[in-house]
Structures are given as C-alpha cells and as structure tokens.
Chains A and B, each alone.
Chain A
Amino acid sequence: MEPLLDTTNLPPLPAPFWFIEFFKVLGFSLHAIPMNLWYAGILVALGLAACGSEHGRRFAARLMLQMPVIVALGINFGIVPLLFLQLAYARAFYPATILMAWFWLAVVVLLVPAYYGVYLYAFGLGKEGAAMTPLKRAAGWLSAVFFVWIGFTFANGLSLTTRVERWRAIWLEHNLDGAATGWGLNLSDPSLWPRWLLMFGLALVTTAAWMVVDAAWLAPRESRQYKRWAQDFALRLGLVGAAWAAVAGTWYVFGTWPPEVFQAMFRSPQVILTLLTAASPWAVGGLLWLWRRGDISRGQAAAVGAGQVGTLALNAIGRQVVQNLEVRPLVDALPEPAVQWGPMAMFLLALVAGALAVAWILIQIIGVKASPEAAP
C-alpha cells in the first residue's frame, strides 16, 4: 500500500531531540495539573454542589471560584507540549488532525463557552451563593460536558497521530476527491477508550490532591471541620481515582499496546518506568491513608501535592516513550539537528526571567487577601 507518512528528507530540527522531548514532557506535566482539575474537578464540584454536605458545597464553591484562573493557566500551559509536538512530529500530527479537522477545530470553538460557563457559574457564587440562578448552574454543567468532550477529542487526535495504519480507512471514508472532509474520528482504535478513561482516573486523583493542598495552604479561614472533611473526602476520591486509573491503565497496556511497544516497555530499563507509572496513582491515596488518623499538616499536604505532580510527570514521560515507539520510523529518520543556539538562549533567558517575574508576583500576593469586591 502507498505510504501516507513520509519520513524521507526530514528537515533538521532547530534543537536537539532530547531538548524538545524535555520541554514537551515538562509542558504536558504542567498542563496536566490544571487540565485534570477542569476535566474531573468541575464534575466533582458540581456533583457536591448538587448533592453534597455543607462542607462538600463549600469545596465546590472554592474550586469553582478558582476555576477561571485554573482554566487560563491550563490553556496556556497546554500550548508548550503542542508546540513541540508539532515541531518534532509534524508529519504525523498534521495528517491525523486534518482527518478529523472539524472535531479538532471544535476544540477551540467549545473552549469559549466552556471557559465563560465557568465564569458564569463563578458569578453565581457571589453573595455567598445567593446570586446562583438555574442559567448559571446550567452553564457550569455545560462547561463540564464541553471539557469532557474536548478531552475526548484530544484522545482521538493524539491516538490517531501514532496510529498511521488507521489513516487510510478514515480518509477513504471521509474524503471528497481525495481531500479530507474532516469528519473522521479514531473510534475504532481500541486504545482510544482506555487512554481517555485513564486520563479521567488521573484527573480524579489530581482533584483529590488539590482538595488537600487547597485546604492546607489556601484556606486559612476555613474551619477545622471543613479541612477534616476535605482530607477524608480526598482519601476516598483519591482511592476511587487510582482504582479507575488502574483499570483503564491495565486495559490500555495489556489490551491495546502493539507487541513491539509491549515488549519494549517491559524490558529493562523501561520496565522500571512502566511499573512506577502504574503504581504512582496510588501515591495520593496511600499517603492520605497513612495520615488518616490526624489532621494533615501543611508539609504533609505539600507531599500529597508533590506526589500527584510526580504521578502526572511519570505518566507524561511514559506516554512520550510509548509515542516515540509508536512513530519510530519518523523518530529514527530525523537527521542531525541544526541547532539555533541564539534563539534557544533567548528562550531560556526569557524562561528564567519569566519565572522570576512570576515568583515576584506570587510573593507580592501571598498573604494578601483578595479583594472582597473582586468577583470572578
């Protein structure tokens, strides 16, 4: 069959491959934190707001008031991995997304109401929740649905990127005179569903971790009873999320990995990464179980947060290794890079300066209470 992935005459990359991979993984890890919170956190919050206890409703309000900032950060952090993905894997990424172009474009279209829906819901939390209306509540639920759909679209796009063998069938089913009509989805790929569900499981665990970190670090005025509730609920949510991730992950690994990927990931030294990645979602639940008897301290909460950041990082690294195995012909064909040292230095300097600027801003606002008038 005529190939649809061209690995010949690849232009040199402007940076070493490891450099691109590092920032792709770092960017995705950073993106995953806020993304997980909107992916599962909004659903958890809205569920608690509807059916939860007084403390549950309190957490829901806290999270949804924080959500506009979380969404803004998450969208921007998501650009970095996508940028480096397109840099190194353009020949695989662009065809895959073109085949599902309307769905891919819809991500941006749906992001607008999803984002403003979060704002609208947060507006309803003003005046201690007295400003909530059915419309604002519905906006929150619509945001949750849109974010889940956006996640599903990403799972389609990124799985199709590495499933070159599926392009032809999708293209021939959705084309006009050889041009893609953009209505394809990767639904028949067995890896799609467990990938999507795995991320949701991780998102539940991230929400649990956030609950604990928020209660310990960002909620000085909340009662001890609220913080205790948050700790207990986070334990249960974390364990449910870890179990969910374990089931989805097992399905993904044992049910869908191609033999060459399976063998590579269970061979030394990758097997260490595979096993750590599999075990890591239990870190949050495990730590909370360990510390369940007493009130969790700030240090312990930070450890819980760090544990989940580590989990997401391991997941990102594992995904990257698997992705490189799945598009091995493309990766192997990359020529020696033609490094842009000057622009790279500019970026790294900007990164350091940016981090300093961010740190300075955070230092200024830590300990200062937000304006009581400042509605979201």
Chain B
Amino acid sequence: MHYPWWHVPQLTAPMLIAAIATIHVLVAHYAVGGGLFLAVETAYAYRAKDRQYLDYLYRHTRWFVLLTVAFGAITGVGIWWTIGLASPLATEVLIRTFVFGWATEYVFFVIEILSAFAFYYYWGRLPEKTHVAIGRIYAFSAWMSLVLITGITAFMLYPGKAWLADRGFWTGFFNPQFLPQTIARTGGALLLTSLYVYFHASLAIKDRRLQELIARRSARPALLGAILVTAGGLGWYAFLPESARAALDSAAVLTVLTVLIFALTILVFVLLYAGPYRNPGWLSPGFAGTLMLFGVAAFSTGEFIREAVRKPYVIYNVVLGSQIFPEEVSTLRNEGFLEGGLWTRAFVHQYAREHELDLIQGGRVDLRRLVARSDGESMKHRRALGGVLFQYHCNDCHALERGYSAVAPLIRGRSRDAILWTIRHLDEGHFFMPPWSGTDDEAELLADYLQGIAPPRPAGMYPETRS
C-alpha cells in the first residue's frame, strides 16, 4: 500500500469519480453520436440542396462544439484527474497496462478537436465534399475514442482469466466485457444523440416540415441505438463475472435499478416508435423533453449499476476497494494492515512518538500491549488507531456517521461482539465486501472505533431486543 488515502466527508472519494463520470458520459455519448449525426445529415442536406436544413445543422454544430469540445473534454479529463486521487493503486495498474491505449485515444482527441473546429468555423467555405469528409473524420475519431476507453473501463469489470495469466495489453483490452460494452455504448451514443436532437429541434425549429424531417431521419438511428443498447446490455449481463451477477440479485437497490433500466429502455423504444418514427408531428418540447429525460435516466441508472456490481473490487480480482491487491490479504492478516501500508505505518509510528506509547517492537507496529489494556486512556488510543483502520480499509465505500453508505447506521444497535464478528468475517457476511485484511488485534481496534460511533438500537420497537 503505497499511497495515502483521501478522506472526503460524507460522500467518500470514489463517489466523486461517479459524479463526474455520470456527467461526462451523458455528454460524451452525444459527442460520439452527434458527430455521426452531423456528418450524415450534412451530407444528406448537401445532396438534397436543403438550405433550411443546412442552416439548422450549422446552428446545431455551434451548440455541439460549445458543449462537447469544452465541457465534454474537461469532464473526461476530470474523471482521469479524480481516479488518481480517489483510487491511486487501481489507476497505477490501469496506466501501466493501458498507457498506449490512452495515448492512442489522445491522438484521436486532437483529431476530434481540430476537425470539429474546422467543421464549424469553415462552414460554407469549404467544398461540400471536403466539409463532409471533415465531419466523417470527426465522427470516426470520436467513435475510436469511445472504443479505446471502453476497452479499459470494461477491463475493470472483468479482465478475464487470460489477462490474469499474462497481464498483457491485448488480452486485457479484448476482455469478455469489451464487445458487449462497445455495442451498448455505440447504441447509447446513437440513442442519446437522437433524443438530444429531438429536444434541440423542438425548441429551435418552428418550421413543421423541418421538424418532421429531423424526427423522421433521426428515428431509425434512435431505434437502432435502442436495439444495440439492449443487445449490449444483455451481452454485458451474460459476460458478467459470477459475483457481479449475484450482486444484481442480492442488493435490493440494484435489483430495482435493473428493472428500472429495462423498463425505461422499453418505454423509450415504444415512444420512439410511436412518436418520431410513426408520427413525426409529435415532436413538441414536452414530448421531446420527456423522452430525453427517460433516456438520460436510463443511461445514468446503467452507469450506476455498472459501477456498483464491481464491488468489492475496483479492478475485478486485481485491486480491491481497500486499495490493496488480493494477494496481499494473507500477508496483511499476519503482519498487520497498519504495518503493511507506508502511510498507515508512518502514522502509527508518529502517533506512538506523540503519545509515548509502546506500539513499536523491532521497528514494526505491535499492538498487543495496547489491545491487552482496557482502561479509559487506552480506549482513546484504541479508537484513534481504529480510526486509521477505518479510513484505509473501509472509507473507500463507506462514509462514517452519515453520508454515502455510512457505516454507523449499518451497525446501529449491534453489540461489540457482533461488530467484531462482522469485521473478522467481512466477505462471509456479504460477498461484495472485501475480506478483512488485518490481524485479530487490529480487528479489536476497529471494533472499538465502530462501537464508539454506532448509534443505539432505535427505541420503541416491538418486541424489545436486548442490545
């Protein structure tokens, strides 16, 4: 364990990744699908010599560039920024494995930016074929960046048995989840873009002919997108590792969200078919806005599920949420979680010096004497070191007293023995918890700490249960 842990109150550091990633994904898929939309539709408008449609596409391109090149790019960088802060070990592994994938992706980013600017700023000045070609270059580059990043994010969910054997780039990139997620995201790009386009057109266009043209022409890509999302989603499910599939069944919130996402996708499909495909005249701001909200909700739900089923891993079978490798667990159980981490060890040494405690033997953290004491003064120190264990072992997924999956409410009313048992059997109680990675003495300290923050059992419940 080479890295310090970053404590983010209430939210936990990894949830910052989730917040930024969800925002980015909603824009990034538009960046991909929108590029294709603009390239295809501009070519069509040139062929049909439809000046009115070209004017609309020009205005849409301005909005597209403003949103995707600026906000989309920065939020994408923001994810990368945040993962290094919230999950440094996993980020180190990912970069070491896929640096050339990321470097290649950035080549496509540069092409995207230049082609997007050229497509917009030189509108009406370039020969039509050249203009369309630049649009196609953008669309291809954007899709390639989707493919490249999907290989890496899919790897986190399930690297596949082959990668665990050779740890290579290609086996990692072409992991079992790569194809289903690429299909799903490509479909998502088409679908989300169509929904955004409907909404934008419903607000920006008053001409009925143009509205119906856009609705009609975007309906098929949208339907195709919905089919690809569904197919990709089913493939995602089929190639999940067993624990991820079990998590969908075990965690009530995930079960509900899974049903929700399927229901929303079906609803969007039906509304697309009944609406823009069969009745293009239905394109009103209310209808288009509602459709877009459903699509955004389905997408965000999907991202939450995709992330949640990875627990207890950040990278399945490679990096645990507690920022250790699974193969370190047995060593840490013998030698100590606090001793095994650079920063935890340094903290205990510092703490021992400051409080003149006998916590170090032969240069190593040794908690036996502290654990053997039970006076009030020692309880203060036990809880202090228990707090360190909580931060580094648990805080990646659990806030403390309130917030995201806060642990205090979860252990409300439990006895110390029950808490201690839970700690020692973390992954037996819930398979999506990491295994306890400390010594028995450290479990005692963490139990003292958690008991110190656990609220009592709620009063007024019948039958009364002794705490």
Chains A and B are bound partners: yes
Interfacial residues, chain A to chain B (CB-CB below 8 A): 1-6, 11, 13-15, 23, 68-69, 72-73, 75-77, 79-80, 83-84, 86-87, 90-91, 93-95, 97-99, 101, 104-105, 107-109, 111-112, 115-116, 119, 168, 171-172, 175-182, 340, 342-344, 346-347, 350-351, 353-354, 357-358, 361-362, 364-365, 368-371, 373-375
CB <8 Å contact, B392 and A14: no
Task: Name the B residues within 8 Å of A1 (CB-CB).
Answer: 346
Interface residue stretch chosen among B29-37, B66-74, B251-259, B282-290: B66-74
B170 within 8 A of A: yes
B85 touches A105 (CB 8 A): yes
User: Which residues of the other chain, A, contact B277 by a CB distance below 8 angstroms?
Assistant: none
Measured CB to CB, the nearest residue on chain B to A351 is B107
Among A95, A344, A357, point to the contact of B100 (Cβ < 8 A): A344
CB-defined A-B contacts under 8 Å, sample of 7: A4-B342, A79-B106, A80-B106, A108-B78, A111-B74, A172-B350, A368-B125
Residue on B nearest A354 in the bound complex, by CB: B107
User: Inside 8 A of B97's CB, which chain A residues have their CB?
Assistant: 14
- Report Cα–Cα, A107/B75, bound state, in Å: 11
Q: A72-B69, A72-B73 are in contact. Are A343 and B95 (CB under 8 A)?
A: no
Interface pick from B112-120, B176-184, B307-315: B112-120
Q: What are the residues of chain B within 8 A of A5 when measuring CB–CB?
A: 342
Cross-interface CB contact of A83 among B92, B106, B108, B110, cutoff 8 Å: B106
Chain B, residues 59-93, CB within 8 Å of chain A (1/0): the string is 00010001001110111011011101100100110
Question: B74 to chain A: which residues have CB within 8 Å?
Answer: 75, 108, 111-112, 115
Across the interface, A354 reaches (CB within 8 A) one of B73, B99, B108, namely B108
Q: A334 to chain B: closest CB distance in Å? A: 12
Is A72 a contact of B70 with CB atoms below 8 Å?
yes
CA distance A12 to B98 in the complex (A): 13
CB distance from A356 to the nearest CB of B (A): 10
Most buried by A among B71, B81, B125, B387: B81
Contact A177 B84 (CB under 8 A): no
Interface size class of B (residues with CB under 8 A): 35 or more
Smallest beta-carbon distance A88→chain B, Å:
10
The 7 closest A-B pairs by CB, nearest first: A177-B387, A343-B100, A178-B347, A179-B391, A179-B7, A94-B88, A108-B78
Cβ-defined contact, A374 with B123, below 8 A: yes
Residues of B within 8 A of A (CB): 2-8, 13, 16, 20, 58, 62, 66, 69-71, 73-75, 77-78, 80-82, 84-85, 88, 91-92, 95-104, 106-111, 113-115, 117-118, 120-126, 130, 134, 137, 141, 168-170, 342-347, 349-350, 384, 387-388, 390-392, 395
Partner of A101 from B58, B77, B85 at Cβ < 8 Å: B85
**Shortest distance in angstroms between B171's beta carbon and chain A's nearest beta carbon?**
11
Docked CA distance A313–B300 (Å):
43
In the complex, what residues of A have CB within 8 A of residue B137's CB? 357, 361
Q: How many A-B residue pairs have CB under 8 A?
A: 229
Question: Cβ of A177: which chain B residues have Cβ within 8 Å of it?
Answer: 7, 384, 387-388, 390-391
Chain B residues with Cβ below 8 Å from A95 are 2-4, 88, 343
Residues of B near A343 (CB, < 8 A) are: 98-101, 169-170
Interface residues of chain B: helix, strand, loop or mixed (majority) = helix
Given the known A-B contacts A94-B92, A354-B111, A369-B125, are A75 and B4 also in contact in the complex, defined by CB atoms under 8 Å? no
**Considering residues B3, B6, B130, B350, which has the most beta carbons from chain A within 10 angstroms of its beta carbon?**
B6
Residues in B neighbouring A75, C-beta threshold 8 A: 73-74, 77
- CB contact under 8 A between A112 and B71, given known A11-B96, A176-B391: yes
Listed residue (A91, A119, A175) with the most chain B CB atoms within 10 angstroms of its CB: A175
Query: A108-B75, A178-B5 are known contacts; what are 4 more A-B pairs with Cβ within 8 Å?
Result: A14-B96, A14-B99, A94-B3, A171-B343
Q: With A72-B69, A75-B74, A343-B169 as given contacts, are A101 and B6 in contact (CB-CB < 8 Å)?
A: yes
- B3 to chain A: which residues have CB within 8 Å? 94-95, 98
Q: Which residue of B lies closest to A375 (CB)?
A: B62
Do A76 and B73 contact each other (CB < 8 Å), given the known contacts A86-B84, A347-B100, A361-B115? yes
A108 touches B77 (CB 8 A): yes
Q: Smallest CB–CB gap between B379 and chain A, Å?
A: 15
A residues less than 8 Å from B91 (CB atoms): 86, 90, 94
Q: In the docked arrangement, what's the CA distance between A84 and B7, Å? A: 26
Given A340-B169, A368-B125, the answer on whether A76 and B106 have CB atoms closer than 8 Å is: yes
Decide if B168 touches A340 in the complex (CB within 8 Å). Answer: yes
Tell whether, in the assembled complex, residue B99 and residue A181 are in contact, meaning their CB atoms are under 8 Å apart.
no
Per the bound structure, the CA–CA distance linking A106 and B134 in Å amounts to 34
Residue of A11, A13, A111 with highest tally of chain B CB at under 10 A: A111
A180, B108: Cβ atoms closer than 8 Å? no
Q: How many Å lie between the Cα of A101 and that of B71 in the bound state? A: 21
Chain A contacts of B391 at CB under 8 A? 176-179
* Interface core residue of A15, A73, A176, A353 (most chain B CB under 10 Å): A176
Chain A residues near B114 (CB, 8 Å)?
Answer: 73, 358, 361-362
Q: Report the separation of the CA atoms of residues A109 and B77 in the bound assembly, to the nearest whole angstrom.
A: 11
Q: Which of A94, A112, A340, A364 contacts B130 (CB 8 A)?
A: A364
Contacts of A342 in B (CB 8 A): 169-170
- B103 close to A365 (CB less than 8 A): no
Q: For A371, what are the chain B residues with a Cβ–Cβ distance below 8 Å?
A: 121-125
**What are the residues of chain A within 8 A of B85 when measuring CB–CB?**
94, 97-98, 101, 104-105, 182
**Residues on A with beta carbons closer than 8 Å to the beta carbon of B109:** 76, 79
Measured between beta carbons, the chain A residues less than 8 angstroms from B82 are 105, 108
Q: Tell me how far the C-beta of B13 lies from the nearest C-beta in chain A, rounded to whole angstroms.
A: 8
Q: Is the CB of B4 within 8 A of A107?
A: no
Inter-chain CA distance A345–B91, complex, in Å, is 23
Known contacts A83-B103, A111-B74, A374-B121: does B126 contact A368 (CB below 8 Å)? yes
The answer to whether B168 touches A98, judged by C-beta atoms less than 8 angstroms apart, is no
Nearest CB of A to B337, in Å: 12
Give complex CA distance A83, B98 in Å.
11
**Contact: B7 with A112, CB < 8 Å?**
no
Contacts of B121 in A (CB 8 A): 365, 370-371, 374
Cα of A8 to Cα of B196 in the assembled complex, Å: 51
A13 vs B97: C-alpha distance when bound (angstroms): 9
Contacts of A72 in B (CB 8 A): 69-70, 73, 113, 117
Complex contact B350–A365 (CB within 8 A): no
Known A177-B390, A178-B344; contact A171-B169, beta-carbon cutoff 8 A: no
Bound CA span A112–B72, Å = 10
Given contacts A4-B342, A80-B106, A177-B390, contact A182 B100 (CB under 8 A): no
